[in-house]
Amino acid sequence: MVEDAHERTGVVARAERRVSLDLRFPSALAPGEAFTVRVIVEDVGEADVRAPLLHEAVFTNVTFEADGSLAPLSMSIPASAEIDKAMTPAIRVHVARGQTGTLERGDFINPAIVPLPDAMEARCSIALVEVR
């Protein structure tokens, strides 16, 4: 791990992090349908406060393979995200069928907190549920 800790701020300067996301759907989905996948990294360390956004990645026109599977998505988190060691960074995923950007019936989300691995290269397996 590449670190340069700054004593006054507690900020850890790092090189870019790469995270590969294996999204697990409750059932196979039809090939050809295009989805938008929004991945958010936020600090969930404060229980009664809105989680501050640390990084966001949006993948458009994501399609499934003929067998209903989805190839892992890869995102880069730049060093400028300044993820502090005192933070509790977590990954939130929204897979949208529509293009509205809002949560709708038939979309998929991860209901459980998925911690962001503290590694320069990591793989996360994220279970999704369908919004009903």
Q: What is the pLDDT of residue 14?
A: 58
What the block records as the tokens of 127 is 């279970």
Q: What is the pTM for the complete model shown?
A: 0.82
SS3 for 61-120 is EECCCCCCCCCCEEEEECHHHCCECCCCEEEEEEEECCCCCCCCCCCEECCCCEECCCCC
Give domain 4-130's CATH number out of 2.30.29, 3.10.350, 3.40.30, 2.60.40.
Answer: 2.60.40
Pairing of strands 12-13, 35-43: unpaired
Q: What is the pLDDT of residue 83?
A: 85
What the block records as the tokens of 22 is 């294996």
Average pLDDT across each block of 10 residues of the chain; the chain has 132 residues. List them in order. Answer: 35 74 86 88 87 92 80 89 87 88 91 91 94 92
